[in-house]
C-alpha cells in the first residue's frame, strides 16, 4: 500500500495495463525517476497511435506551419465541399494526405498527389503556365507547328491529324 516505488532494478509497474513488466518493456525517459516512460511500450504506442493523438499532432502542425486554427481548417474543408481544390478527390479531415497549400494570401486544401504536383512545380505560376502550354500543344496534335507552316500554301487541308501521321510515316 501507499508510496511504494513503482519500479525496481529489474522491473517497473505500468499504470495503464496495471502490471509489473521487465524494464526493457519501457521506453527511455530522462525526466522520470526511473529513467523510463510511465507506460510500457505497448501502452505508449497505443496512445501515440490513437486518433486523438494524431489530431493533436495535426492541430499543432496547422498552427505552426500554416498559422491556422482548427476552426479555419474545418471552415476551409467545408467551403471546398470536402474535396481537393484541384482534382476533386475527397479529403479526410486530419488525415496526413490532406494538406494545406498557400497560394498568395489564400489557403487551399489539396490531396497529397496535387500537393506533390505543386511542389514539383515549386509553386511557380510561370512553370505551371509553361507546363500547361506544353500539355495543350501536345493535345492539339503532334506536328502542329509543321501544319501551320504547310497550311500557308495548302488551303484544302481539313484533317491536320491524319496529314501529320502521313508525313511522319
Selected range binding Zn ion among 51-59, 76-84, 124-132, 139-147, rule: CB under 5 A: 76-84
Distance CA 53, CA 69 (A): 17
Show the CA angle centred on residue 48, arms to residues 44 and 50, nearest 5°.
115
Question: CA Rg, the chain, in Å?
Answer: 29
For residue 30, count other CB atoms closer than 10 A to its CB. Answer: 6
Residue placing its CB nearer to Zn ion in the complex, 12 or 147: 12
What does the block give as the cell for 112? 497529397
Within residues 40-69, the interface with Zn ion by CB under 5 A covers 40, 43
Site pattern 81..110 for Zn ion (x: CB under 5 A): ---x-xx-x---------------------
Beta carbons of 70 and 59 less than 8 angstroms apart: yes
Q: Which of 8, 16, 57, 130 binds Zn ion (CB under 5 A)?
A: 16
CB of 110 to Zn ion, least distance (A): 5
Binding-site ranges for Zn ion (CB under 5 A): 14, 16-17, 40, 43, 84, 86-87, 89, 111, 114
Amino acid at each position: 500500500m501507499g508510496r511504494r516505488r513503482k519500479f525496481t532494478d529489474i522491473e517497473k509497474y505500468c499504470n495503464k495495463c496495471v502490471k509489473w513488466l521487465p524494464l526493457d518493456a519501457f521506453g527511455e525517459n530522462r525526466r522520470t525517476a526511473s529513467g523510463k516512460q510511465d507506460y510500457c511500450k505497448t501502452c505508449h504506442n497505443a496512445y501515440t497511435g490513437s486518433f486523438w493523438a494524431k489530431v493533436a499532432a495535426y492541430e499543432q502542425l496547422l498552427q505552426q506551419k500554416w498559422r491556422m486554427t482548427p476552426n479555419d481548417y474545418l471552415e476551409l474543408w467545408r467551403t471546398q465541399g470536402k474535396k481537393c481544390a484541384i482534382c476533386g478527390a475527397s479529403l479526410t479531415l486530419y488525415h496526413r494526405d490532406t494538406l494545406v497549400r498557400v497560394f498568395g494570401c489564400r489557403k487551399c486544401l489539396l490531396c497529397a498527389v496535387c500537393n506533390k504536383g505543386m511542389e514539383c512545380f515549386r509553386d511557380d505560376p510561370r512553370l505551371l503556365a509553361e507546363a500547361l502550354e506544353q500539355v495543350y500543344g501536345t493535345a492539339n496534335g503532334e506536328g502542329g507547328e509543321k501544319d501551320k507552316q504547310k497550311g500557308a500554301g495548302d488551303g484544302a487541308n481539313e484533317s491536320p491529324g491524319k496529314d501529320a501521321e502521313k508525313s511522319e510515316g
